[in-house]
Structure 1
Amino acid sequence: MRLKTDLVIMGSGMAGISAADAALARGKKVMVFEKKPYQGGAVSNCPIAYLSIRNDKDFQNTAFHLLYEYSNYNANPSVIRQYVNNSWRTKEYIERLGIKMIQTQKLELEDIGNPKYADGFPPAIMAHGDFYLVPGRGKGHGGALICLNAMKDIIKRGGQYMLNTPITDILVDENGKVNGVKAVNNETKEEIEVECEAVIIASGGIMEDREMMKKYTGFTFTDYNCSGDGNVLFNCYPNSGQTGDGQKLAWKLGGAQSAIAVSGHNLVPGPGIVASSPWIVYNETRTIQEQPYLWVNKNGERFIDESISNNHMAISTGIANQPNGESYIVFDEDTRRHLEEDGVDYMYFIFPVEKLTDIPGQFKTLINEKGNKHVFMTDTIEELCAQSGIDQAGLEETLDRYNGYCDNGEDEEFGKDAKYLRPVRKGPFYAMRVFCAGYDTIGGIKVNGKMQVIREDGKAIPGLYAAGDNMMSEFYGNPPTGGSAGAYFAMPFGFAAGDSACDYLEKNA
């Protein structure tokens, strides 16, 4: 089958639909290709909230400086500028799709970057715009509803959707300009060739290509129980189809490679704690790993100020830097009573619980009935170390110092807030082995401020653009400083890529 259009978009997630919206508004013919049999990217089909920077220069400039500083001035400032200038379009677009939103936080100019609005995440990421929640419908998620309504809107306006049809190649002419794509229908096996003048890669990350994950992030993805000998990663979005297709095609055409990093948080794997999606919990122990008590690595050493244990980007980075990429939260019977009688110190809004119930019973179920190898409850520290693999001498040395800090009310190592200093002395003793978990990955494709895919010499590949997770290293810094909330950024970058592609099409008409 041979077809013709102006613009081809690879991927139907948040970046893809935004790019299509921008191009249709400029009167261009658009085809959206999606490898899965349904619309929407990996992270866009989830409970969704987003930030929107107001269409005001003062708000945009303040957010720009905050985000640029967050990257340690290592990001591409022109890419950050595209985000802050296009962020307001997200709210307008979702409302135009007929979706009601709940504004949960209105951020005034003087509050941009204020940690009290960050909910544990870095203020640069969580406190630079107004915060909205998109409620789901029935049992469906808000993100899926956006993608569904967007597909209907795009088709209504003349765009074409090619579901279950992955793009297998991007074609260029003798001058290196994009002039088409090849694709294949997964069901019928029919080969499709489309003549076009521009392509936007909006195809997401690499989470489900295990070889790429090992090569570019260092993580070994074994299974959803993190079986193996460490340095493993829990995949929060199985069957998402994130296999680096867009990165591979961009690199094949000479596109420069940017760093790839995992965007995720800390997680104790199953069985018995969470399902393959971390939003589905089987008990209350998921909340324990949010708490700011004692965290150690395999050598029994502290490695972070535990008061940021609910800052998923920070704690995940800290864990990744430890031997075998693993950590342990350790607490004793007195802290267990505190969690059940006084209540939790941190509560993640997705798992709302003020007081835990029967922690010993939950641990026994996980250990004895579910066979969870990452949860431990023993009468002595010696037994705890023997079962968990924590170095006993290292942990005992740490406990001597740490318990002294708790007694004196002052953390002389990392300056943790004294209200979170809880000693580990009284058995039974509890521990949970915590790994990094990945929603997705960010990075792989290097772009310039026009969202054009560029070569190593910095020159653009004519007609080739990228938006969304695959180019997000340019926003966070290269190497990335840590990523979160892909939907916040994917849509503005989609709008920007759509606009730039249209400028290119009109210039070369």
Structure 2
Amino acid sequence: MTRTVSKDGTLSRRQFVAGASVFALSMMTGCAPTAASPSEARMTPGTYSASANGLFGPYTIEVDVSEDAILDVRVVDTHESQYLGQRAQSTIAENVVKHQSLEVDSITGATMTTSTMKDAIRDALTQAGASKKMFDEDATTPAPANVAGDIEDFNPDIIVVGAGITGLTAALTAADRGAKVLILDHNKHFGGSTMYSGGYCAAAGGDTLPSYGYETDPDEFFAWFMDGDETTFRPELSYVAAYNSGPALDMLTKYGAKWIEGGPIGEDVGAHANAASTENATKDVDYFAAYVISHEQRGLSIFEDTAPSIQEFVEKGQMAYLLNTKATELIVNAEGQVTGVRVENGAEYEAPATILSCGGYCANDEMLSKLYARWARSGSASSIGNMFDAAVKVGAVLHDMDFCRTDGGTLPVLEGNGQAVMREIKYKTPGLVWLNTDGVRFWKEGSKVDRAYFDTERNTVYCVANKALLESDDLLYYGNYATYVTDSGNEELERLAEEGKVVFKGDTVEEAAEKAGLDPKVVAEQIERYNGFCKAGVDEDFGKEADALIALEEGPFYIFETIPNIKNTYGGLVIDDGARVLDAQNRPIVGLYAAGETAGNYNIVRPTASYYGGNLHRGCTFGYTAAMSAAKDFGL
């Protein structure tokens, strides 16, 4: 292996050691809580409140104190996301009380929430009379001092590029087979986009699902995948997705992943459109697959749970990982075989097999700008598409790179492309009317959303509603839908309407249209025509279902300017059923494998097969498959 050398010519271990800090996540052990020193100034006992601006809006906390101790910290009002932001708030609050210190571990992936929570708690303590030195004892968890083995002496059998769910499963599977594994990731922590998810993972077969009472059938799972237009997906990959899913889930379970019961997946259950996990916990339905949920209902805990196993492999000298290390090129020998990876600082790492599991390109503005005029992003900022060009240079082929998996309804409250989704409307709400930039209805609302936003001019859709529709449902989210935090009183919606930049309100539809910069006459004619379809019960233009034909007759009217937000990328490297990367002649490129979004997750099953736990299912299943193939191909 080529050495990583620092400026003074000696081996640099900084990046290597930095990787160990991922395993300190949420392991906040430390001394038992003690009261402040008697020499410190006393506080006035009571309850104190403070406010802070979080990622998606302001929130308020309350802190109970005695003369010399923090008794409780509560979040009383918040707009932060349920999966990550609110959990971070709760964790910080719990550990400040536990350790009687504000110097507690930050939460990976929730840096802003961590910082603002500490500031708000400090504000409340200051109100109580605490001095600056009170509650400042360091209670952070130190990263492990080192990892076993020296990187210059570590000669891996397999290099895994990317440390999300796909890379994690690949690494554990390869190590389980006895291979020596080097993991590279450009982030400073493990997790990739999975750490922001709810931790749902689907499968069929294997040993894990039966332990939760699910008797599944990979044959039927495969048949369900195949029930569609085969020109839109790869049947041989659907087969792998069905039959390797159980063993892949078992691999994560074997090395520490903890789950709770999720629900079944069948013809009428388990699909996003008609299922809720808590309601599908019973088995009294016909199903062929099932999903489980990470025990803390967040993707990050999968990495926390498996961290001890990773560390054990490291200490045994069978695994190493380099974080803050961006792979940029593939190394090829004279026979055209991939023999390793070159990283951004020029260092080279060699191995017989390289698995690319480094995500898609939803955070690569250069690539996206070739496809979209306007977009926001709710996908992972770590999906930078850094290895697509590298793979193409060694002969790989890309597929389905023409557009991305998107949600609609994003209000562009922040200027510029690629911004985080700060506000989103329920753009599939029955009764909403979609207009293009000409003010003309152009689509069956709620259908094929990614294509609707991709095809329309400037990727902009104007959604029309009225007061009655707003009163029938909470239409606005803080952040995107995955935060599960809505503007229940429409206060934020009305504020945005008063601001008049992305939400436009008028007593008449013409007035709202004029404020939105649309032709008032054209918009009024479109709404009148649509209302006629509602009365007749038949949408003659686009075939919208009768129960979704809700007339917009009485004002006030609201027009929302919306753009797409990029969640995942459809396209990627062409692979075979063993996750081997193929060239233009459909021949495997020896030594190169790809899985997860890097291999175009969404060509694996028919596009209409939407089901709970699908992303993690496809990621871990093909990470497992790639590692098994590499081990077989090289006799590991």
**TM-score, normalized by length of structure 1?**
0.80
Structure 1 gap segments, 5+ residues each: 220-230
Q: d(CA) in 2 for partners of 1:253 and 1:482?
A: 33
Letter of the aligned partner of 1:315 in structure 2? V
- In terms of mean alpha carbon deviation, does 495-504 or 79-88 score higher? 79-88
Q: d(CA) in 1 for partners of 2:471 and 2:237?
A: 49
Aligned length, in residue pairs: 455
Please say if residues 63 and 128 of structure 1, whose CA atoms lie closer than 8 Å, have aligned partners that are also in contact.
yes
Letter of the aligned partner of 1:162 in structure 2? L
- In the TM superposition, 1:179-194 aligns within 5 A as 179-184=339-344, 191-194=346-349
Q: d(CA) in 1 for partners of 2:378 and 2:157?
A: 36
| 1:53 partnered with 2:201 | no
Q: d(CA) in 2 for partners of 1:233 and 1:378?
A: 27
Out of 195, 210, 222, which is 2:350 matched to? 195
- Deviation for aligned residue 1:502: 0.5
Q: Find the counterpart in structure 1 of residue 369 from structure 2.
A: 214
Q: Find the counterpart in structure 1 of residue 232 from structure 2.
A: 74
Q: Find the counterpart in structure 1 of residue 583 from structure 2.
A: 455
- Deviation for aligned residue 1:121: 7.9
The higher-RCO structure (CA 8 Å, 6+ apart) is 1
Q: Find the counterpart in structure 2 of residue 228 from structure 1.
A: none
- In terms of mean alpha carbon deviation, does 54-63 or 429-438 score higher? 54-63
Please say if residues 325 and 435 of structure 1, whose CA atoms lie closer than 8 Å, have aligned partners that are also in contact.
yes
Larger radius of gyration: 2
- Deviation for aligned residue 1:211: 1.7
- In the TM superposition, 1:61-460 aligns within 5 A as 61-70=219-228, 72-107=230-265, 112-114=266-268, 117-120=270-273, 129-136=289-296, 142-157=298-313, 158-184=318-344, 191-215=346-370, 218-219=371-372, 231-237=373-379, 240-260=381-401, 261-271=403-413, 278=421, 286=424, 288-293=426-431, 294-306=433-445, 309=446, 314-339=448-473, 351=484, 356-357=488-489, 359=490, 361-368=491-498, 371=499, 373-460=501-588
SS in 1 for 2:205: coil
Q: d(CA) in 2 for partners of 1:505 and 1:66?
A: 34
CA distance 1:98–1:277, change in 2 (3 Å): farther
Structure 2 gap segments, 5+ residues each: 4-151, 208-214, 281-286
- Deviation for aligned residue 1:377: 0.8
Letter of the aligned partner of 1:329 in structure 2? C
SS in 2 for 1:453: strand
Q: d(CA) in 2 for partners of 1:466 and 1:166?
A: 17
Please say if residues 51 and 128 of structure 1, whose CA atoms lie closer than 8 Å, have aligned partners that are also in contact.
no
Q: d(CA) in 1 for partners of 2:482 and 2:186?
A: 33
- In terms of mean alpha carbon deviation, does 489-498 or 33-42 score higher? 33-42
Q: d(CA) in 1 for partners of 2:522 and 2:604?
A: 35
Q: d(CA) in 2 for partners of 1:180 and 1:22?
A: 19
Q: d(CA) in 2 for partners of 1:425 and 1:165?
A: 58
Q: d(CA) in 2 for partners of 1:159 and 1:16?
A: 13
- Deviation for aligned residue 1:414: 3.7
Please say if residues 333 and 427 of structure 1, whose CA atoms lie closer than 8 Å, have aligned partners that are also in contact.
yes
- In terms of mean alpha carbon deviation, does 392-401 or 325-334 score higher? 392-401
Please say if residues 510 and 521 of structure 2, whose CA atoms lie closer than 8 Å, have aligned partners that are also in contact.
no
- Deviation for aligned residue 1:413: 3.5
SS in 1 for 2:272: coil
Please say if residues 511 and 520 of structure 2, whose CA atoms lie closer than 8 Å, have aligned partners that are also in contact.
no
- In terms of mean alpha carbon deviation, does 63-72 or 319-328 score higher? 63-72
Q: Find the counterpart in structure 2 of residue 492 from structure 1.
A: 621
Per-residue CA deviation, residues 154-205 of structure 1 (Å, 9 max, x unaligned), is 2312311111112232212111112222225xxxx5x532221010011111
| 1:34 partnered with 2:185 | yes
Residue identity over aligned pairs, in percent, reads 23
Q: d(CA) in 2 for partners of 1:487 and 1:277?
A: 22
CA distance 1:483–1:196, change in 2 (3 Å): farther
Q: d(CA) in 2 for partners of 1:73 and 1:55?
A: 30
Q: d(CA) in 2 for partners of 1:269 and 1:402?
A: 24
SS in 2 for 1:426: coil
- Deviation for aligned residue 1:336: 3.2
Q: d(CA) in 2 for partners of 1:265 and 1:121?
A: 18
- Aligned-residue CA RMSD (Å): 3.4
Per-residue CA deviation, residues 384-428 of structure 1 (Å, 9 max, x unaligned), is 222223343432332222111222333334443433322122221
- Deviation for aligned residue 1:325: 1.5
**TM-score, normalized by length of structure 2?**
0.65
- Deviation for aligned residue 1:71: 5.3
SS in 2 for 1:499: helix
Please say if residues 290 and 348 of structure 1, whose CA atoms lie closer than 8 Å, have aligned partners that are also in contact.
no
- Deviation for aligned residue 1:292: 1.5
- Deviation for aligned residue 1:471: 0.8
Please say if residues 268 and 374 of structure 1, whose CA atoms lie closer than 8 Å, have aligned partners that are also in contact.
no
Please say if residues 82 and 449 of structure 1, whose CA atoms lie closer than 8 Å, have aligned partners that are also in contact.
yes
Please say if residues 199 and 465 of structure 1, whose CA atoms lie closer than 8 Å, have aligned partners that are also in contact.
yes
